[in-house]
Amino acid sequence: MTLAIVATRAGLGLEAPEVQVEVHLANGLPGLTLVGLPETAVKESRERVRSALVNAGFDFPNTRRITLNLAPADLPKEGGRFDLPIALGILAASGQIPVEALEGVECTGELALDGKLRAVPGVLPFALATRQAGRALIVPRDCADEAALAGSLKVLPADTLWQVVAHLLGQEKIPAHQLAFQPQPGQPPADLAEIRGQHQARRALEVAAAGGHNLLFAGPPGTGKTMLASRLPGILPPLSDDEALEVAAVRSVCGLPLEQDWGRRPFRQPHHSASAAALVGGGSKPKPGEISLAHHGVLFLDELPEFSRHVLEVLRQPLESGTIHLARASHERRYPAQFQLVAAMNPCPCGHLGDPRQRCQCSTSQIQRYQARLSGPLLDRIDLQVEVPALPPEQLTSQEVGESSAAVRQRVMAARERQLARGALNAYLGGRELEAACALQAAERTWLAEVLEKLKLSARAYHRVLRVALTLADLQGEARPAQPQLMEAIGYRQLDRLLKRG
C-alpha cells in the first residue's frame, strides 16, 4: 500500500477540527514534500520524524518520493502535535504497519529524535472532539490524565513510537488509561467572617454572588476593599462538571496545569500594568487572556483607574456577550469570557476624598482627570457600585465575628436555584425575560421612572437595577421584586454621588 490516511486534529483555540494526514509514496526523485498550510514547527517535523523512525528501529523510505498532505488544505496547522500522525502515516504507506489498524483511532504527540513521545498543549479540546467522533485516542503518557477528563473516551497512553506501533500490530496492546486525576485544592478560600463591619459591602458581595452581578468597591485606602473581593470565591457554589471542563479547556490551551483548584471557580487578579492583549487575549496567533482564564469565575481589577482607559474599554463587549472574538489577518479565535467583574478603586489620586480621617490633598483638576479614566458606558455595565467607608476604631477592635462564608453560600445557592429554574442567572437574563420575571405594578413603574429621571440613569442602568432587584427578591424567597427591593437596588448605584462629592 502506497497511500495511508491518519486522523488527527488541529488546534484552533477551544476548537479541534479534524485533520487527515495523507501520506503517498511514489517512484521518482527521493524527497519529502509537506503541504496543507503547515507553519514552521510543522515543517520541521520532517526531520524529527525521520530521526525518530530510524532511531526506533524502523525503515525510512529514503528511495521513494514522499508526499504529505494535511487536509483540509486551507486550515492552518501549527505545533508539534502532527509528528506522531505523520510517522504512523509513513509506516502505513510503506507497509510496516497495516492501514486497517489506523481505522477508528486518532493520535497526537510530538516526537523526540530517539522516538520518545512528548506532551503537547490543548489535548483536552482534542479529546472532547475525539469523544464526539466516537474514536479512540493515542496520546503521550504525560497527556493521558488530561485526555481522560473528556469522560467516555478510550485513551491509549504511550511513551514511545515503538510502543504505539506494537499496539497497532497487535503485539503488545496498550491498556486503556484510567483517570488518576487527584485534584489539588490548594489554600482554602478566605472566610467572610474575618471581615469586620462593612455591612453594606458584605450585603453587596452576597447579592453579586447570588445573581452573577458585576461589583465595584470605592473608598479610601485600607478600608477592606481587596479583602472583600478576595472573599467572593468562598461564597460562590462549586463548578458543575460541564463548567469545570470548560474552565479546564481554556487552561489546557494556555498550557496551564488542570489539577490545580479543580472544581473551584477561577479568581484572576491581573496587575494594573496589564495590556489590552493580556486582558482579553491576543497575539499574532490569538491566545486566551485573563477574561477567558476567569471564565465561570471572578476577574478582580484592583486600583481600577490605574488601568489604561483603552484597556478598560475593551472589557465592554465581553461583559455584555460573555465571549471574546479575536480577529487577525490570518487567524480568528472565539473564546468564552463569562466572568464576574469585581473592581476596587480610590475616589481620588491620594485616596482620601470624603475620608473623615484625613483631608484630601488633590486639586479639582487632578480628581477630574482621575475619575475620567472610567467611562460612563463601562460604569453602566457594573450593577453594584458600593462605597466602602473608613471604619471607626471601636469597630476595628471589636471582637464581634461576622457571618461565615458557608452560611452565606447556602443562601446564594438557594437564590441561584430559583434563577436557573427561570433559565439563567439574573445577570444574563434577556430584556423580555427580565421584564416578565419582575412583573412590576403600574405604581412601581411610575415611581421607578421618576427615580430614573432624577438620577439620569441610562436604559442599560435601568435594566441593571431590575436585575439586582430580582436577585434581592430571590434571596428573600419572593416571587417578584417590589418597591423595597427596587429602592435597595438603586441604592447600590452610589458611584456618581461618591465621585462628585468633595
The confidence band for 181, taking pLDDT boundaries of 50, 70 and 90, is low
Is pLDDT above 70 for 496? no
- Where b means 16+ CB within 10 Å and e means fewer, 229-238 reads bbbbbbbbee
CB 339 within 8 A of CB 297: yes
Is pLDDT above 70 for 183? no
Q: How many CA atoms lie within 13 A of 255 on its CB side?
A: 5
- Where b means 16+ CB within 10 Å and e means fewer, 370-405 reads bbeebeeebbbbbbbbbbbbbbeeeeeeeeeebeeb
| CATH code that applies to domain 192-499 | 3.40.50.300
Give dist(CA 495, CA 500) in Å, integer. Answer: 8
Give dist(CA 321, CA 231) in Å, integer. Answer: 26
Q: Whose grid coordinates read 462538571?
A: 241
Give dist(CA 140, CA 296) in Å, integer. Answer: 29
Average pLDDT, integer, range 66-82:
93
Is pLDDT above 60 for 201? yes
For 308, counting Cβ atoms within 10 Å of its Cβ (0-12 exposed, 13-18 middle, 19+ buried), the class is: middle
Q: Whose grid coordinates read 503485539?
A: 171
Please tell me the predicted confidence (pLDDT) of residue 186.
57
pLDDT higher for 378 or 183? Answer: 378
Q: Cis peptide leading into 72, omega within 30 of 0? A: yes
Query: Residue 479 is placed in which grid cell?
Result: 416571587
- Region of 36 (left: φ > 0; alpha: ψ -120 to 50; beta: rest) is left
Single out the residue of 148, 115, 109 nearest to residue 245, CA to CA.
148
Please tell me the predicted confidence (pLDDT) of residue 300.
97
Q: What percent of the chain has pLDDT over 70?
A: 95
Other Cβ atoms closer than 10 A to 58? 18
Please tell me the predicted confidence (pLDDT) of residue 452.
83
- Going from N- to C-terminal start, the domains of the chain cover 3-168, 192-499
| Residue pLDDT, tens place only, 271-310 | 999 999 999 998 877 889 999 999 999 999 999 999 999 9
Please tell me the predicted confidence (pLDDT) of residue 396.
67
pLDDT higher for 172 or 401? Answer: 172
- The CATH architecture that domain 3-168 belongs to is 2-Layer Sandwich (3.30)
Is pLDDT above 70 for 480? yes
Query: Residue 409 is placed in which grid cell?
Result: 453560600
Average pLDDT, integer, range 153-181:
93
CB 129 within 8 A of CB 19: no
Is pLDDT above 90 for 134? yes
Average pLDDT, integer, range 323-350:
89
Average pLDDT, integer, range 143-162:
93
Q: What is the mean pLDDT of the chain?
A: 90
Average pLDDT, integer, range 29-33:
88
Rg of the chain (C-alpha set): 28
Please tell me the predicted confidence (pLDDT) of residue 500.
46
Is pLDDT above 90 for 358? no
Please tell me the predicted confidence (pLDDT) of residue 327.
83
Is pLDDT above 70 for 414? yes
Please tell me the predicted confidence (pLDDT) of residue 501.
44
First to last CA, the chain: 84
Q: How many CA atoms lie within 13 A of 80 on its CB side?
A: 16
The confidence band for 198, taking pLDDT boundaries of 50, 70 and 90, is confident
Q: Which amino acid is at 101?
A: A
Q: Whose grid coordinates read 486522523?
A: 7
| Residue pLDDT, tens place only, 216-236 | 999 899 888 999 999 999 999
The confidence band for 178, taking pLDDT boundaries of 50, 70 and 90, is confident
The confidence band for 456, taking pLDDT boundaries of 50, 70 and 90, is confident
Please tell me the predicted confidence (pLDDT) of residue 431.
84
User: pTM (2 decimals)?
Assistant: 0.89
Query: Residue 472 is placed in which grid cell?
Result: 434581592
Q: What percent of the chain has pLDDT over 90?
A: 64
Low-confidence winner among 10-19, 61-70, 330-339, 396-405 (lowest mean pLDDT): 396-405
Average pLDDT, integer, range 60-89:
93
| Residue pLDDT, tens place only, 33-60 | 999 999 998 999 999 999 999 999 999 9
β-pair partners for 22: 5, 69
Assign 3-class secondary structure to 346-363.
CCCCCCCCCCCCCCCCCC
Other Cβ atoms closer than 10 A to 491? 15
Backbone angles phi, psi at 239, to 5 degrees: -70, 145
The confidence band for 184, taking pLDDT boundaries of 50, 70 and 90, is low
Name residues whose C-beta falls within 8 Å of residue 325's C-beta, 6 or more positions apart in sequence.
Answer: 332, 333, 334
Please tell me the predicted confidence (pLDDT) of residue 502.
42
Low-confidence winner among 63-67, 350-354, 422-426 (lowest mean pLDDT): 350-354
Please tell me the predicted confidence (pLDDT) of residue 373.
87
Low-confidence winner among 54-58, 361-365, 408-412, 413-417 (lowest mean pLDDT): 361-365
Give dist(CA 271, CA 275) in Å, integer. Answer: 9
pLDDT higher for 150 or 392? Answer: 150
